[in-house]
Amino acid sequence: MAQVSLALAVCTRPADGARLGGDLYDVVPAPAGPRLILGDVKGHGPAAAPLAAAVRAVFRQEAATEEDPARLARTLDARLAPVLGPEDFVSLLVVDLRPDEIRLVNCGHPPPLRIGRRITPLTPPHPSPPLGLNPDPRTRRVQLRPDQRLLLHTDGLTEARDAAGACFPLDRRALAALTAPTLDQAVDRLLGLLHRHTGRAAPADDLTVLLLQRQGVIAPDRGVGELGGQSRELPNSRR
Protein backbone atom coordinates (compact mmCIF):
# COMPACT_ATOMS: atom_id res chain seq x y z
CA MET A 1 0.00 0.00 0.00
CA ALA A 2 1.32 3.45 -0.91
CA GLN A 3 1.96 5.87 1.91
CA VAL A 4 1.69 9.64 1.99
CA SER A 5 4.39 11.61 3.77
CA LEU A 6 3.66 14.63 5.93
CA ALA A 7 6.23 17.10 7.22
CA LEU A 8 5.71 18.64 10.66
CA ALA A 9 7.30 21.67 12.33
CA VAL A 10 6.57 22.29 16.02
CA CYS A 11 7.32 24.99 18.56
CA THR A 12 6.10 25.03 22.15
CA ARG A 13 6.89 27.75 24.70
CA PRO A 14 5.57 27.68 28.28
CA ALA A 15 4.41 30.98 29.75
CA ASP A 16 6.95 33.46 31.12
CA GLY A 17 9.95 31.33 30.19
CA ALA A 18 9.05 28.41 32.47
CA ARG A 19 10.34 24.90 31.67
CA LEU A 20 6.87 23.30 31.75
CA GLY A 21 3.35 24.45 30.99
CA GLY A 22 -0.22 23.42 30.33
CA ASP A 23 0.03 22.85 26.57
CA LEU A 24 0.63 19.33 25.27
CA TYR A 25 1.09 17.56 21.98
CA ASP A 26 2.07 14.10 20.89
CA VAL A 27 2.13 11.87 17.80
CA VAL A 28 1.64 8.09 17.82
CA PRO A 29 1.09 5.44 15.13
CA ALA A 30 -2.64 4.58 15.06
CA PRO A 31 -4.56 1.90 13.12
CA ALA A 32 -5.01 4.06 9.99
CA GLY A 33 -1.84 6.14 10.21
CA PRO A 34 -0.16 8.73 12.45
CA ARG A 35 -2.43 10.35 15.02
CA LEU A 36 -1.68 13.71 16.58
CA ILE A 37 -3.06 15.35 19.71
CA LEU A 38 -2.89 19.01 20.72
CA GLY A 39 -4.33 20.09 24.04
CA ASP A 40 -4.46 23.00 26.45
CA VAL A 41 -5.40 22.44 30.08
CA LYS A 42 -6.92 25.13 32.27
CA GLY A 43 -4.27 27.49 33.61
CA HIS A 44 -0.70 27.85 32.43
CA GLY A 45 2.90 27.42 33.46
CA PRO A 46 4.23 24.84 35.93
CA ALA A 47 0.94 24.64 37.90
CA ALA A 48 -0.82 23.27 34.79
CA ALA A 49 1.95 20.85 33.81
CA PRO A 50 0.84 17.79 35.89
CA LEU A 51 -2.60 17.71 34.25
CA ALA A 52 -1.04 18.15 30.81
CA ALA A 53 1.24 15.18 31.54
CA ALA A 54 -1.76 13.09 32.63
CA VAL A 55 -3.59 13.84 29.36
CA ARG A 56 -0.55 12.87 27.31
CA ALA A 57 -0.10 9.63 29.27
CA VAL A 58 -3.71 8.54 28.75
CA PHE A 59 -3.49 9.45 25.06
CA ARG A 60 -0.44 7.23 24.63
CA GLN A 61 -2.23 4.34 26.33
CA GLU A 62 -5.35 4.56 24.14
CA ALA A 63 -4.46 6.15 20.80
CA ALA A 64 -2.63 3.27 19.15
CA THR A 65 -5.56 0.85 19.28
CA GLU A 66 -8.72 3.01 19.02
CA GLU A 67 -9.72 3.42 15.37
CA ASP A 68 -12.37 6.14 15.78
CA PRO A 69 -10.99 9.59 16.81
CA ALA A 70 -14.29 10.78 18.30
CA ARG A 71 -14.55 7.65 20.42
CA LEU A 72 -10.94 8.23 21.49
CA ALA A 73 -11.88 11.72 22.73
CA ARG A 74 -14.76 10.24 24.75
CA THR A 75 -12.42 7.65 26.23
CA LEU A 76 -9.91 10.32 27.20
CA ASP A 77 -12.69 12.30 28.91
CA ALA A 78 -13.80 9.24 30.88
CA ARG A 79 -10.26 8.20 31.81
CA LEU A 80 -9.35 11.70 32.98
CA ALA A 81 -12.50 12.27 35.05
CA PRO A 82 -10.91 11.05 38.32
CA VAL A 83 -8.04 13.57 38.06
CA LEU A 84 -10.07 16.58 36.89
CA GLY A 85 -11.14 18.97 39.61
CA PRO A 86 -14.61 20.59 39.52
CA GLU A 87 -13.26 23.59 37.59
CA ASP A 88 -10.69 21.78 35.44
CA PHE A 89 -11.06 21.27 31.70
CA VAL A 90 -8.91 20.44 28.69
CA SER A 91 -9.44 21.84 25.21
CA LEU A 92 -8.39 19.20 22.71
CA LEU A 93 -7.73 18.46 19.05
CA VAL A 94 -7.33 14.92 17.73
CA VAL A 95 -5.98 14.80 14.17
CA ASP A 96 -5.81 11.57 12.15
CA LEU A 97 -3.45 11.77 9.16
CA ARG A 98 -4.80 9.38 6.50
CA PRO A 99 -3.73 8.81 2.89
CA ASP A 100 -6.87 10.39 1.40
CA GLU A 101 -7.98 12.89 4.04
CA ILE A 102 -7.47 14.35 7.50
CA ARG A 103 -9.98 13.59 10.24
CA LEU A 104 -10.41 16.21 12.95
CA VAL A 105 -12.07 16.05 16.36
CA ASN A 106 -12.33 19.35 18.20
CA CYS A 107 -13.34 19.59 21.86
CA GLY A 108 -13.43 23.30 22.68
CA HIS A 109 -10.09 24.11 21.04
CA PRO A 110 -9.20 26.93 18.63
CA PRO A 111 -9.97 25.60 15.14
CA PRO A 112 -7.15 24.43 12.89
CA LEU A 113 -6.25 26.84 10.10
CA ARG A 114 -5.86 25.66 6.51
CA ILE A 115 -3.16 27.74 4.83
CA GLY A 116 -3.39 28.29 1.08
CA ARG A 117 -4.29 31.40 -0.88
CA ARG A 118 -5.93 32.53 2.33
CA ILE A 119 -6.16 31.46 5.96
CA THR A 120 -9.30 29.36 6.43
CA PRO A 121 -10.43 28.40 9.96
CA LEU A 122 -11.77 24.82 10.01
CA THR A 123 -14.49 25.61 12.53
CA PRO A 124 -16.36 22.49 13.68
CA PRO A 125 -19.97 22.41 12.38
CA HIS A 126 -21.07 20.89 15.71
CA PRO A 127 -18.99 22.57 18.47
CA SER A 128 -18.17 20.44 21.50
CA PRO A 129 -17.21 21.55 25.01
CA PRO A 130 -13.72 20.67 26.28
CA LEU A 131 -12.92 17.47 28.15
CA GLY A 132 -14.27 17.68 31.68
CA LEU A 133 -17.32 19.71 30.59
CA ASN A 134 -19.48 16.97 29.02
CA PRO A 135 -17.91 16.95 25.55
CA ASP A 136 -19.87 15.77 22.51
CA PRO A 137 -17.07 15.07 20.01
CA ARG A 138 -17.80 14.71 16.28
CA THR A 139 -15.41 13.82 13.47
CA ARG A 140 -14.90 16.24 10.59
CA ARG A 141 -13.21 15.12 7.38
CA VAL A 142 -11.15 17.67 5.45
CA GLN A 143 -8.87 17.66 2.44
CA LEU A 144 -5.35 19.05 2.41
CA ARG A 145 -3.73 19.48 -0.99
CA PRO A 146 0.06 19.24 -1.33
CA ASP A 147 0.22 23.04 -1.84
CA GLN A 148 -1.70 23.70 1.40
CA ARG A 149 -0.60 23.60 5.03
CA LEU A 150 -2.47 23.02 8.28
CA LEU A 151 -1.72 25.14 11.34
CA LEU A 152 -2.70 23.82 14.75
CA HIS A 153 -2.24 26.14 17.71
CA THR A 154 -3.25 26.89 21.26
CA ASP A 155 -4.87 30.16 22.28
CA GLY A 156 -1.47 31.50 23.29
CA LEU A 157 -1.19 32.53 19.63
CA THR A 158 -4.51 34.18 18.80
CA GLU A 159 -5.09 35.67 22.26
CA ALA A 160 -1.62 37.22 22.56
CA ARG A 161 -2.12 40.97 22.99
CA ASP A 162 -0.12 44.09 22.23
CA ALA A 163 0.27 47.08 24.55
CA ALA A 164 -3.13 48.42 23.47
CA GLY A 165 -4.87 45.12 24.18
CA ALA A 166 -5.37 44.03 20.56
CA CYS A 167 -5.10 40.31 19.81
CA PHE A 168 -2.57 38.92 17.36
CA PRO A 169 -4.06 39.27 13.87
CA LEU A 170 -4.16 36.46 11.33
CA ASP A 171 -3.73 38.92 8.49
CA ARG A 172 -1.76 39.06 5.24
CA ARG A 173 1.53 39.28 7.11
CA ALA A 174 0.68 36.07 8.97
CA LEU A 175 -0.28 34.41 5.67
CA ALA A 176 3.04 35.49 4.12
CA ALA A 177 4.91 34.03 7.11
CA LEU A 178 3.02 30.75 6.99
CA THR A 179 3.74 30.26 3.29
CA ALA A 180 7.53 30.61 3.66
CA PRO A 181 9.57 28.08 1.63
CA THR A 182 10.01 25.58 4.50
CA LEU A 183 7.88 24.71 7.52
CA ASP A 184 10.64 25.66 9.94
CA GLN A 185 11.01 29.06 8.28
CA ALA A 186 7.24 29.54 8.39
CA VAL A 187 7.05 28.83 12.12
CA ASP A 188 10.06 31.06 12.84
CA ARG A 189 8.55 33.95 10.85
CA LEU A 190 5.16 33.55 12.51
CA LEU A 191 6.76 33.66 15.95
CA GLY A 192 8.77 36.69 14.87
CA LEU A 193 5.53 38.49 14.03
CA LEU A 194 4.10 37.44 17.39
CA HIS A 195 7.15 38.74 19.26
CA ARG A 196 6.91 42.10 17.50
CA HIS A 197 3.18 42.24 18.27
CA THR A 198 3.49 41.59 22.01
CA GLY A 199 6.92 43.12 22.61
CA ARG A 200 7.65 40.25 25.01
CA ALA A 201 10.65 37.92 24.97
CA ALA A 202 8.51 35.10 26.44
CA PRO A 203 4.77 34.57 25.97
CA ALA A 204 2.37 35.54 28.76
CA ASP A 205 0.44 32.32 28.15
CA ASP A 206 1.57 28.85 27.13
CA LEU A 207 2.03 28.72 23.36
CA THR A 208 2.21 25.78 20.97
CA VAL A 209 2.08 25.86 17.16
CA LEU A 210 2.28 22.88 14.81
CA LEU A 211 2.47 23.30 11.05
CA LEU A 212 1.76 20.31 8.77
CA GLN A 213 2.10 19.80 5.04
CA ARG A 214 1.26 16.81 2.87
CA GLN A 215 4.07 15.60 0.64
CA GLY A 216 4.38 13.00 -2.11
CA VAL A 217 3.75 9.27 -2.12
CA ILE A 218 6.64 7.29 -0.66
CA ALA A 219 7.71 3.65 -0.78
CA PRO A 220 5.37 1.27 1.04
CA ASP A 221 8.12 -0.23 3.22
CA ARG A 222 9.19 3.05 4.82
CA GLY A 223 8.58 3.16 8.57
CA VAL A 224 7.14 5.93 10.67
CA GLY A 225 9.59 8.82 10.86
CA GLU A 226 11.41 9.91 13.96
CA LEU A 227 9.10 11.80 16.30
CA GLY A 228 11.87 13.82 17.97
CA GLY A 229 13.17 17.14 16.70
CA GLN A 230 11.38 20.12 15.23
CA SER A 231 10.76 18.98 11.66
CA ARG A 232 10.20 15.43 10.53
CA GLU A 233 8.58 13.18 7.95
CA LEU A 234 5.48 11.23 8.95
CA PRO A 235 4.06 8.62 6.56
CA ASN A 236 0.26 8.66 6.58
CA SER A 237 -0.22 4.93 6.90
CA ARG A 238 1.76 1.82 7.72
CA ARG A 239 1.82 -1.46 5.93
Q: How confident is the model at residue 230 (pLDDT cuts 50, 70, 90)?
A: very low
Q: Are strands 90-97 and 102-107 parallel, antiparallel or unpaired?
A: antiparallel
Average pLDDT over residues 33-59: 93
3-state helix, strand, coil in the chain (%, to 5): 25, 30, 40
Average pLDDT, integer, range 52-75? 95
Q: What is the pLDDT of residue 154?
A: 97
The confidence band for 4, taking pLDDT boundaries of 50, 70 and 90, is low
Q: Which helix or strand (DSSP H or E) is residue 51 part of?
A: helix 49-62
pTM (two decimals): 0.87
Domain 3-215 part of CATH 3.60.40.10: yes
Summarised one tens digit per residue, pLDDT across range 91-126 is: 999 999 888 899 999 999 999 999 999 999 999 999
Percentage above 70 pLDDT, the chain:
88
Confirm if 139 and 104 have CB atoms less than 8 A apart: yes
Mean pLDDT of 11-19: 91
Q: Reply yes or no on whether the pLDDT at 192 is more than 50.
A: yes
CA separation for the pair 73, 193 (Å, rounded) = 33
Confidence of residue 224 (pLDDT cuts 50, 70, 90): very low
